[in-house]
Amino acid sequence: MADGQGPVVVSVINMKGGVGKTTIAAMLARWLTSMRPFTRQYGSSGMYTDTLTIDLDPQANLSQALMGGRRCRDFLNAQSPSIVEVFKGYQPPNRFNPSPHPLSMSSVVHSIGGRSSPNDSSLALIPSRSE
């Protein structure tokens, strides 16, 4: 953040299913991203900047909501690294790389695009997948 206090972390957690955690997380991420042009234009404290969402749910509903159906299918078919590999600390063998190799964070973080354009990198996602 611009004021030097570091990032703000917001967690959406509830042990009960079906209470809107995914919807709240997706809408909150989109709202925070939509605030970015306003805060940059008017020089606010920098509270709203880039937004990183991390999908920790093995059902990967947040990943599907933010990536969209086609992009999420492409992600799964490509066997791209997800939050699972972040916790493991390496990329396991797959059809593209026959041996395990170190994981780079840039290979895990996917730009979703912001409200201003699909090329806007203000909203990013570390996706999940069922393992």
Q: What is the pLDDT of residue 15?
A: 92
Asked whether residue 122 carries a pLDDT value surpassing 90, the answer given is no
pLDDT of residue 31: 87
Q: Which is it for the CA torsion 75, 112, 104, 131, positive or negative?
A: negative
Joined together, the tokens standing for residue 66 give: 């933010």
Instruction: Tell me: pLDDT of 61 over 90.
Output: yes
Q: Which residues contact 75 (CB under 8 A, 6 or more apart)?
A: 63, 67, 82, 110, 127, 129
Q: Please tell me which residue, 43 or 79, carries the higher pLDDT value.
A: 79
Q: What are phi and psi of 123, to 5 degrees?
A: -120, 125
pLDDT band of residue 119 (cuts 50, 70, 90) is low
CA-CA distance, 95 to 78, in Å (whole number)? 9
Confidence (pTM): 0.76
**Average model confidence (pLDDT) for the chain?**
81
Q: What is the pLDDT of residue 50?
A: 80
Q: Which residue has the higher pLDDT, 15 or 38?
A: 15
The percent of residues above 90 in pLDDT, for the chain, comes to: 37
